[in-house]
Amino acid sequence: MKTSAFVLGALAVLVTNCAGQRDTALPSNLQNGARWPHGPFRTSGRDIVNALGETVTWAGVNWPLSGESMVPEGLEWLSANEILSKVSSVGFNFIRMGYAIQMIDEIYDHGGIDVTLEASLVSALGATNGTRVATAIVANNLALGWTLDTPRFKIFSDITRLAARRGIFIHPDAHVSKAQWCCSHTDGDAWFGDTNFQTRNWTRALTYVANWAKNQTNVVSMSLRNEPRESWTVPTLNYNWHTFVGNMTAGANAVHAANPDLLITWSGMQFGEDLSALTSRKNLLTAACYKCTAIRDAHRRDPVYFSLSNQTWADKVVWELHLYPTSEDLDTGNCRMIEAGLYRNGFNALGIQPPAACNATLDCPAAPRLTPVILSEFGHQQDATLDTDIVQNCLKEYTKRYSVSWSMWSLAGSYRVREGVQGFGDAWGLTNYNWTGWQYPSGVESHWRPWVEAMNVTKLG
Ligand SMILES: *[C@@H]1O[C@H](CO)[C@@H](O)[C@H](O)[C@H]1NC(C)=O
Ligand SMILES: *[C@@H]1O[C@H](CO)[C@@H](O)[C@H](O)[C@H]1NC(C)=O
Ligand SMILES: *[C@@H]1O[C@H](CO)[C@@H](O)[C@H](O)[C@H]1NC(C)=O
Ligand SMILES: *[C@@H]1O[C@H](CO)[C@@H](O)[C@H](O)[C@H]1NC(C)=O
Ligand SMILES: *[C@@H]1O[C@H](CO)[C@@H](O)[C@H](O)[C@H]1NC(C)=O
Ligand SMILES: *[C@@H]1O[C@H](CO)[C@@H](O)[C@H](O)[C@H]1NC(C)=O
Ligand SMILES: *[C@@H]1O[C@H](CO)[C@@H](O)[C@H](O)[C@H]1NC(C)=O
Ligand SMILES: *[C@@H]1O[C@H](CO)[C@@H](O)[C@H](O)[C@H]1NC(C)=O
């Protein structure tokens, strides 16, 4: 999500059984691929497949935990189980959970001990509100045995385990370095080496989360970094395809070394919009790149290409793109142009036909390598304009037509703190302010539920 209008979403996953029947049993044994979710997952051409070789599709929501408190939003209003029940009731099978690298930094800074719920809330909200909200979270979640001293990762693990019982995948997403609302050019979280974005801290956190995931059967994937973008706080950083690939490769190496089972989602440049130089295998020194730092001697140097097939994690990478109407550069004015942009920016890796408007954009090369591409963020105000919005409805038809996994931004109808305001309401959230119902109930019925159903998402429970 970009600037104050944006939020993250979650994905729901679809599993087509070989025999076509739906597995309705709860997963009693989640180990060793024998039962749901049948991990580890890998990519096969344009598809994500489980250990049985079955294609899996996700449709879901983003559930943020990357705000200052570093605890998933909403738990002071409803229990974790009630929130997951709401998610599950729409059919969603995927939740993208954006966390802050700071959460892992603080574990290292405290000699390996995680920060407690109350300490984290007090640090984010002040003593009075912090203790009040922490107490409400504990009271809502007595069944989970949480106390004011429960560590943050225990909360994350418990939510993940409860999601597994409902057949919901949890996708940890390295959303920000410093815990705060994301994303802008000036938040210090924009690019490798930015004020808050130390590359070593980032790879260390990826390793930590990849290790944590070994204990979570329904974590079959994790992201490298949400929405890379040009930093305006440190103007000397080289923002371009070449440094992008260098850093993201280091991130993928870190994840894969710690946990070779995981799928690794790789976001695009310019707020997650653009992967064109990678999916179309262009020269990284000369490929077009919005707002990039020029490489002035590029034409005097040997070309540099990124070959996913040459990596040890070649069959683990899933491309990840976002699209919002507030894009700085992409034409979102009609669906024909949106589709041409999506193809150009990375969906060509699905091996689909170039859309009609490519005759106007003249920038729709075929991808040399098939790779899955997911739409892990997009969003809109949850009111009657949802039903007529161009981008929203274009993406809906697109994901259905091409079986593209997606997660909408976001579940959260309010944030305990965001952009300096405590108790921040968000009209883009699926839930209402106090999380007890939907913000736009008829939209859940007319828009979200039929969309999820059309994705053929199969889930447990
Ligand atoms: C990186 O981690 C170190 C050591 O854990 C910590 O002290 C530092 O604040 C972190 N750097 C950034 C920019 O967050
Ligand atoms: C894995 O999960 C079990 C059961 O929840 C827990 O007891 C154990 O401490 C966890 N191990 C790690 C490494 O997190
Ligand atoms: C990571 O990005 C920074 C900033 O652009 C750059 O200086 C550095 O060389 C990059 N690292 C790699 C391995 O490419
Ligand atoms: C990928 O590997 C092949 C075969 O080893 C090699 O010819 C090619 O140059 C490599 N490509 C890149 C971009 O590293
Ligand atoms: C592209 O094709 C459409 C019809 O499919 C046509 O209306 C439009 O004029 C064409 N644009 C160009 C630049 O050729
Ligand atoms: C405490 O929380 C309430 C409710 O969210 C909010 O209105 C109030 O401003 C907060 N207090 C402080 C000091 O931020
Ligand atoms: C939550 O908000 C709804 C709608 O605004 C309201 O009707 C309800 O009373 C609130 N519930 C709680 C527990 O605050
Ligand atoms: C879902 O299944 C129906 C019936 O088999 C099929 O027509 C449709 O294309 C499928 N949708 C997706 C997104 O795979």
The DSSP symbol for 233 reads S
Residue 181: pLDDT over 80: yes
pLDDT in tens, 191-217: 999 999 999 999 999 999 999 999 999
> Which atom of ligand 3 is the closest one to the Cα of 243?
14
Residue 12: pLDDT over 70: no
Q: What is the mean pLDDT of residues 342-348?
A: 99
Residue 145: pLDDT over 80: yes
Looking at the DSSP bridge assignments, the partners of residue 317 are 264
Q: What is the mean pLDDT of residues 343-368?
A: 98
Looking at the DSSP bridge assignments, the partners of residue 48 are 43
At a CB cut-off of 8 Å and minimum separation 6, what does 444 contact?
90, 430, 438
CB 96 within 8 Å of CB 45: no
Residue 335: pLDDT over 60: yes
Residue at 219 is within a domain: yes
CATH code for the domain in which residue 404 is found: 3.20.20.80
**Cα distance between residue 219 and residue 289, in whole Å:** 33
Return the percentage of the chain with pLDDT > 70, whole number: 92
Nearest Cα residue to 92 out of 375, 441, 408: 408
What spacing in Å lies between the alpha carbon of 10 and ligand 3's midpoint? 30
Task: Report the range of poorest mean pLDDT among 25-34, 215-224, 314-323.
Answer: 25-34
The best mutation among 77, 431, 434 to test binding of ligand 7, ranked by most ligand atoms within 8 Å of the C-beta, falls on: 434
- Nearest ligand by distance to the CA of 231: 3
Residue type, 92: F
Residue 391: pLDDT over 50: yes
Residue 125: pLDDT over 90: yes
The three-state secondary structure class of 377 is strand
What spacing in Å lies between the alpha carbon of 159 and ligand 2's midpoint? 13
Nearest residue (CA) to ligand 1, atom 9: 105
Residue at 37 is within a domain: no
Kindly report the average pLDDT of the chain as a whole number. Answer: 93
Burial class (CB in 10 A: 0-12, 13-18, 19+), 381: middle
Which 3-state string (H, E, C) describes 165-198? HCCCEEEEEEEECCCCCCCCCCCCCCCCCCCCCC
Nearest Cα residue to 170 out of 182, 184, 155: 155
pLDDT in tens, 220-276: 999 999 999 999 999 999 999 999 999 999 999 999 999 999 999 999 999 999 999
Q: What is the mean pLDDT of residues 160-181?
A: 98
Nearest residue (CA) to ligand 4, atom 2: 310
**Cα distance between residue 137 and residue 141, in whole Å:** 6
Residue at 146 is within a domain: no
pLDDT of residue 34: 74
Q: Hey, what are 229's tokens?
A: 């973008």
pLDDT in tens, 419-455: 999 999 999 999 999 999 999 999 999 999 999 999 9
pLDDT of residue 411: 98
Q: Would the CB of 434 count as within 6 Å of ligand 7?
A: yes
Q: What is the mean pLDDT of residues 181-192?
A: 98
Q: What is the mean pLDDT of residues 175-195?
A: 98
Residue at 236 is within a domain: yes
Residue at 21 is within a domain: no
Nearest residue (CA) to ligand 1, atom 8: 105
- Nearest ligand by distance to the CA of 284: 4
CB 271 within 8 Å of CB 3: no
Give me the domain span that covers residue 161. Answer: 49-114+151-454
pLDDT of residue 457: 87
Nearest residue (CA) to ligand 8, atom 11: 455
Residue 10: pLDDT over 80: no
pLDDT band at 460 (very low <50, low <70, confident <90, very high): low
The best mutation among 359, 361, 362 to test binding of ligand 5, ranked by most ligand atoms within 8 Å of the C-beta, falls on: 359
Residue at 130 is within a domain: no
Q: How many domains does the chain have?
A: 1
Query: Which residues lie with the beta carbon below 6 Å from any ligand 8 atom?
Result: 400, 403, 454-456
**Cα distance between residue 170 and residue 154, in whole Å:** 15
pLDDT of residue 31: 45
- Nearest ligand by distance to the CA of 397: 8
What spacing in Å lies between the alpha carbon of 437 and ligand 7's midpoint? 8
Residue at 289 is within a domain: yes
Residue 5: pLDDT over 60: no
pLDDT of residue 33: 60
Residue at 23 is within a domain: no
Q: What is the residue whose two structure tokens read 């793109």?
A: 321
